[in-house]
């Protein structure tokens, strides 16, 4: 299966966390706390953490700011991936994606199914790449954030994880943008 070879050194990744919610504050944001704690525990850097309302423009505005920052490699959002009228994170993010990572949603649902069964179909967890950065959209519950981090992101954001990981291809995520400049 996978391994973490001792021959590779850990490379910390700079991560921004976005909570999408009409009701949460930094004091009541358990999902954001869950992600921030796991990011620190893994040895990565929390570059920023924000809360925005369930509003397409607000979500995109915050993410666009982070896409311009040199101290952000990865954006993880929590919330707004459900089926209700207020759940607009996926719509906001997909418009920013240059490439969508369909396998992320599949892997998330496989993990989630083991915990909550067929209720996982109510989530639209997704991921993509924009401006050379990864964007991951997780549901708004602390349990879903744990599942997404522990089951996928912890290992894929660890350069030592084999046979492959997200970190080793980070320098090549924006090759298409570099070609346009040249």
CATH number of the domain that 30 lies in?
3.40.980.10
Residue 52 within a domain: yes
> Distance (Å, rounded) from C-alpha 96 to C-alpha 82?
19
Q: Which pLDDT score is estimated for 175? A: 82
Q: Which domain holds residue 74?
A: 14-181
Residue 89 within a domain: yes
Low-confidence spans in the chain with pLDDT less than 70: 1-6, 177-182
- Residue 86 · residue 56 · CB < 8 Å: no
> Distance (Å, rounded) from C-alpha 119 to C-alpha 109?
10
Residue 108 within a domain: yes
Residue 60 within a domain: yes
Structure tokens, 181? 């400049």
Residue 117 within a domain: yes
Q: Which pLDDT score is estimated for 99? A: 96
> Distance (Å, rounded) from C-alpha 60 to C-alpha 42?
27
> Distance (Å, rounded) from C-alpha 127 to C-alpha 76?
9
Please report where in the chains the tokens 């519950």 appear, as a residue: 141
Residue 1 within a domain: no
Please report where in the chains the tokens 């666009």 appear, as a residue: 64
Residue 143 within a domain: yes
Q: Which pLDDT score is estimated for 6? A: 66
Q: How many domains does the chain have?
A: 1
Phi, psi of 174 (to 5 degrees): -110, 25
Rg of the chain over CA atoms, in angstroms? 16
Residue 7 within a domain: no
Q: Which pLDDT score is estimated for 4? A: 60
Q: Which pLDDT score is estimated for 7? A: 82
pTM reported for the whole predicted model: 0.94
Q: Which pLDDT score is estimated for 176? A: 73
């Amino acid at each position: 299966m996978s391994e973490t070879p001792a021959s590779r050194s850990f490379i910390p990744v700079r991560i921004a966390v976005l909570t999408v919610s009409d009701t949460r504050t930094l004091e009541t944001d358990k999902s954001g706390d869950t992600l921030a704690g796991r990011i620190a525990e893994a040895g990565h850097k929390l570059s920023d953490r924000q809360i925005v309302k369930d509003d397409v423009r607000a979500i995109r505005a915050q993410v666009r700011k982070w896409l311009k920052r040199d101290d952000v490699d990865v954006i993880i959002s929590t919330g707004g991936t459900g089926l209700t009228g207020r759940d607009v994170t996926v719509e906001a993010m997909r418009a920013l994606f240059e490439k969508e990572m369909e396998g992320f949603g599949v892997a998330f649902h496989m993990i989630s199914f083991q915990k909550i069964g067929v209720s996982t179909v109510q989530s639209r967890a997704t991921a993509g790449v924009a401006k050379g950065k990864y964007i991951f959209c997780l549901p708004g519950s602390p349990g879903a954030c744990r599942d997404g981090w522990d089951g996928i992101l912890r290992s894929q954001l660890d350069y030592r994880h084999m046979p492959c990981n997200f970190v080793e291809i980070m320098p090549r995520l924006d090759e298409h943008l570099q070609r346009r400049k040249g």
